[in-house]
């Protein structure tokens, strides 16, 4: 009998007893190849000696000091490191303990900015239908998961919605990618005008969509268009890179590949690589300057912000990424994984799309490739593939359709950056086997 409120209240998952490199071991000694880093977290794999040593040293020196009293050397160093590698202009860092907290802080900072510059009538965020921004009430409100929001809807602020950028599903056959991008940007502009630009705080979007659709990258020019619209109407662009940031897509921040700089950028997961819970937001001087010269206080805070041990873990993770030139490795391995997936699964009658950037790839499963018709959501194919994969000793991140259940089943792969090409081939092979086992079982 467990006393923990597990995710599934009716079953207890296997006990993770140890982990090393790219494997987690359960209490029976079974090894699981970690091809998703949990939820795109474990970018350096497990028990990395540099990170473990840095944490030990920090705990011996200073485990924690409340930020109401002190700053710490290690949190200052981590902030310096993040800014030094960030898109130009994102010069300010606020540390939190995870992704939802990062988005929550981003929403509040954006609102406070407009209050401080004398525009308190701005109260509305615009966000996309297929998106996930976290599970706290503010982050849940901007997220597009209807099923997550449903029972909490009366507690959530209203958010204006636009379509996601999801070429595989939504680009019409008679449209070029450019026309599709223009249609989406027109929809966003229309929404800004419908709400009234003077009432809008900002537009929130994941640069590469993660937990709701399986590594869906934007079309070329989409975020450039978003940036232009935000500039034109004086609204803030808030990029959520909690999942896709910190090198996952082959550049430290995914927006680098889209050639844009958001006003606020939220990160977590790969920031600390799972060694400690840590997230952060990066904010431009445009936002911070009026607050610094106004009230002088960001009206927010948590007990564990800037936690010294968490910052030490994150700093060590980020230093290893730079030292070992893991960004170029992610790009090379990502291309290898794409080719390997296409070779092994590209012709599978139920694989509709293989997509992603870097070591952040998604496989979308469909009942019918020609019509892109998804499997019946009640069959929960994604969960069945996950169960098969766990049997086969493989960890993958599954997700089901999230817009009225009509968006099909997806598998997300986000393996540690330290894998080799042959590790990646093993991941793809085990995944293909798991898919081949799970799909016929649906009709038995």
Binding site for ligand PLP (CB under 6 A): 39, 98-100, 103, 132-134, 206, 210-211, 240, 242-243, 268
CB of 272 to ligand PLP, least distance (A): 10
Please tell me whether residue 357 adopts helix, strand or coil conformation. Answer: strand
- Name the 3-class secondary structure at 119: coil
Region for 91 from its dihedrals, namely left if φ exceeds 0, alpha if ψ lies in -120 to 50, beta otherwise = alpha
Closest to ligand PLP by CB, 111 or 133? 133
By beta-carbon proximity to ligand PLP, the closer residue of 103 and 341 is 103
Return the number of the residue (134 or 138) whose C-beta is nearest ligand PLP: 134
- Give the residue with the Cβ less far from ligand PLP, 37 or 250: 37
CB of 344: closest distance to ligand PLP in angstroms? 26
Tokens of 420: 């080799």
Quote the tokens at residue 340: 């390997």
Count CA atoms within 13 Å of residue 220 on its CB side. Answer: 3
Spatial neighbors of 153 by CB under 8 A, at least 6 apart, are none
Closest CA to 159 of 171, 169, 145: 145
User: Terminal CA-to-CA distance of the chain, rounded, Å?
Assistant: 33
Please answer whether residues 241 and 254 qualify as being in contact, where contact means their C-beta atoms are separated by less than 8 angstroms: yes
Report the residue closest to ligand PLP, judged by CB.
Answer: 99
Neighbours of 5 (CB within 10 A): 6
Residue 211 or 366: the one with the smaller Cβ distance to ligand PLP is: 211
The distance of closest approach from Cβ of residue 99 to ligand PLP in the complex, given in angstroms and rounded to an integer, is 2
Residue 34 or residue 206: which is nearer to ligand PLP going by CB? 206
Q: Which residues contact 168 (CB under 8 A, 6 or more apart)?
A: 216, 352, 353, 355, 364, 372
Give the residue with the Cβ less far from ligand PLP, 360 or 417: 360
Shortest reach from residue 415's CB to ligand PLP, in Å: 16
Q: Which 8-state DSSP code applies to residue 31?
A: E
Q: How far is the CB of 245 from ligand PLP (least distance, A)?
A: 9
Measured CA to CA, the distance from residue 364 to residue 277 in angstroms comes to 30
- The CB-of-59 to ligand PLP minimum distance in angstroms stands at 23
Nearer to ligand PLP, 4 or 84 (CB): 4
Q: Which is nearer to ligand PLP, 54 or 216 (CB)?
A: 216
Q: Reading across the β-sheet that carries 200-206, which strands appear in turn?
A: 90-96, 279-284, 264-267, 236-240, 200-206, 124-128, 159-162
Q: What is the dihedral of CA 250, 252, 253, 259, to 10 degrees?
A: -70
Q: Is 282:267 a contact under the CB 8 Å cutoff?
A: yes
Shortest spacing between CB 216 and ligand PLP, in angstroms = 12
Instruction: State which residue, 134 or 334, has the beta carbon closest to ligand PLP.
Output: 134
How many Cβ atoms are within 10 Å of 147's Cβ, its own excluded? 13
Minimum gap (Å) between residue 96 Cβ and ligand PLP = 9
- For residues 159 and 174, give the distance between their C-alpha atoms in angstroms, rounded to a whole number: 31
* Smallest separation, CB 97 to ligand PLP (Å): 8
Q: Which is nearer to ligand PLP, 277 or 408 (CB)?
A: 277
β 264-267/236-240 pair status? parallel
CB of 193 to ligand PLP, least distance (A): 27
**Smallest distance from the beta carbon of 274 to ligand PLP, in angstroms?**
11
Q: How far is the CB of 249 from ligand PLP (least distance, A)?
A: 13
Q: In terms of CB distance, is 22 or 244 closer to ligand PLP? A: 244
Three-state secondary-structure class, residue 394: strand
Nearest Cα residue to 337 out of 434, 427, 218: 427
Q: DSSP letters along 276-305, please?
A: S--EEEEEEHHHHHHHHHTTSS-S---TTT
């Amino acid at each position: 009998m467990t006393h923990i409120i597990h995710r599934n209240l009716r079953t207890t998952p296997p006990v993770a007893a140890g982990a090393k490199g790219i494997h987690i071991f359960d209490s029976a000694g079974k090894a699981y190849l970690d091809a998703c880093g949990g939820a795109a977290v474990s970018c350096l794999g497990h028990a990395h000696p540099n990170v473990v040593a840095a944490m030990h040293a920090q705990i011996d020196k200073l485990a924690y000091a409340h930020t109401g009293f002190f700053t710490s050397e290690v949190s200052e160093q981590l902030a310096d490191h993040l800014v030094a590698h960030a898109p130009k202009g994102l010069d300010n860092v606020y540390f939190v303990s995870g992704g939802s907290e990062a988005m929550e802080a981003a929403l509040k900072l954006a609102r406070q900015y407009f209050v401080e510059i004398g525009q308190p009538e701005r109260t509305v965020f615009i966000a996309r239908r297929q998106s996930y921004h976290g599970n706290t009430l503010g982050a849940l409100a901007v997220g597009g998961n209807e099923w997550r929001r449903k029972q909490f809807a009366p507690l959530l602020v209203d958010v204006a919605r636009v379509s996601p950028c999801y070429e595989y599903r939504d680009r019409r056959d008679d449209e070029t990618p450019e026309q599709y991008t223009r249609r989406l940007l027109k929809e966003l502009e229309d929404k800004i005008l419908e709400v009234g630009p003077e009432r809008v705080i900002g537009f929130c979007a994941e640069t590469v969509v993660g937990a709701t659709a399986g590594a869906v990258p934007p079309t070329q020019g989409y975020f450039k268009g978003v940036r232009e619209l935000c500039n034109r109407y004086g609204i803030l662009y808030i990029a959520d890179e909690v999942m896709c940031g910190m090198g996952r897509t082959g550049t430290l921040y995914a927006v680098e590949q889209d050639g844009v700089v958001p006003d606020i950028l939220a990160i977590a997961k790969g920031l600390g690589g799972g060694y400690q819970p840590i997230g952060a937001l990066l904010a431009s001087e445009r936002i911070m300057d009026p607050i610094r010269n106004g009230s002088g206080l960001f009206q927010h805070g948590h007990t564990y912000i800037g936690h010294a041990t968490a910052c030490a873990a994150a700093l060590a993770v980020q230093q290893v990424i730079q030292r070992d030139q893991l960004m170029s490795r992610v790009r090379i391995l990502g291309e290898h994984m794409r080719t390997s997936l296409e070779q092994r699964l590209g012709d599978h009658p139920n694989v509709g799309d293989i997509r992603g950037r870097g070591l952040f790839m998604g496989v979308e499963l469909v009942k019918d490739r020609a019509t892109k018709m998804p499997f019946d959501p009640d069959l929960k194919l994604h969960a069945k593939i996950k169960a098969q994969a766990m049997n086969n000793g493989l960890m993958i991140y599954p997700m089901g359709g999230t817009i009225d259940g009509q968006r099909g089943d997806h598998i997300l792969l986000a393996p540690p950056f330290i894998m080799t090409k042959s590790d990646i081939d093993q991941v793809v092979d085990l995944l293909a086997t798991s898919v081949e086992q799970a799909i016929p079982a649906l009709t038995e």
